[in-house]
Amino acid sequence: MSNDFIYKRSLTIVYGDMALEPYSTVDCESPDRVWTILSHVRDLADFVEPVPCPMADLLLCHTESLIASVKRDGLVFQAAASAAGGAIQAAERALVGPAFALVRPPGHHAGRAFNGGFCFFNNIAVALKKLLASGAVRSALIVDIDLHYGNGTDDIFNDDNRVTFRNISASERTEFFHDLDEALADAARYDIVGCSAGFDTYIRDWGNLLFTEDFRRIGAMLASSNAHFFSVLEGGYYIEDLGKNVRAYLEGIRSGCS
């Protein structure tokens, strides 16, 4: 069996029980989000446990004072460090096959010296800074499909010419797919593509825009754009359908790699 065949058939989900901890945050960013996703995707992939992100890797993106502020709540810090570590593992796995970091808290609203929007550390940014620092990759594209702008990711990479950040912000479904297609037009030239995967654009969620089958299409578009692709969970708060939406997305990734 060739390595290419192994890549095309293998999907990794990085998940640990720390994502189910009831740390202090807003009610909508609850452990139920991860639990419902987990219950829908157990049969889709190989699962690996996240390793907490070490301080040295957090410092690639965040100031000491920001990290110290998160540390004031021990459970929040443990969960946030686990989420960032899970994103690192997903990015590393992406060098040999597609990967999804099923983590919480989310991260794309955390910048170098600030956080907010239910985020503490910027998971996808830490992951890519780690790969860049180690020399595993020399360039990266981040595509953010969450309803809300990834202001933290923009803050971290706005002066780093190795990383291109593209946020999909659309008010209509057709516009969304047009913008995503444009964002991925040159994706193959990057060493790796990462997606801040938010599901709050769903028709019954805050965004009131996309349907379940749209997430399947999105996953396929992203996965087929570059051989080295990973995603990190961001938003998505309509819990009744969140699991099936993430499953559709992951099935799209698998089809995009075939």
pLDDT in tens, the chain (258 residues): 233 334 445 899 999 999 999 999 999 999 999 999 999 999 999 999 999 999 999 999 999 999 999 999 999 999 999 999 999 999 999 999 999 999 999 999 999 999 999 999 999 999 999 999 999 999 999 999 999 999 999 999 999 999 999 999 999 999 999 999 999 999 999 999 999 999 999 999 999 999 999 999 999 999 999 999 999 999 999 999 999 999 999 999 999 987
Active site residues: 109
| CB neighbours of residue 224 within 10 Å | 18
Cα(105)–Cα(88) distance, integer angstroms: 14
CA–CA distances in Å: residue 125 to residues 5, 45, 100, 109: 29, 24, 15, 11
Rounded to whole angstroms, how far apart are CA atoms 126 and 156?
9
pLDDT at position 69, please?
98
Domain count, the chain: 1
CA separation for the pair 99, 84 (Å, rounded): 14
Range of the domain at 174: 3-256
Give dist(CA 143, CA 179) in Å, integer. 11
pLDDT of the residue at 192: 98
> And the tokens for 144?
């953010």
- Angle among Cα 188, 191, 258 to the nearest 5 degrees reads 55
The 10 Å Cβ neighbour count of residue 249 is: 29
Q: For residue 149, give every residue at least 6 positions away whose Cβ sits within 8 Å of its Cβ, in sequence order, or none.
A: 167, 169
Contact, 106 vs 29, CB < 8 A? yes
CA–CA dist 46, 62 (Å, integer): 31
How far is the first Cα of the chain from the last one, in angstroms, to the nearest whole number? 15
pTM tops 0.75, yes or no: yes
pLDDT computed for residue 102 by the predictor: 98
CATH of the domain at 85: 3.40.800.20
What residue type is 23 in one-letter code?
Y
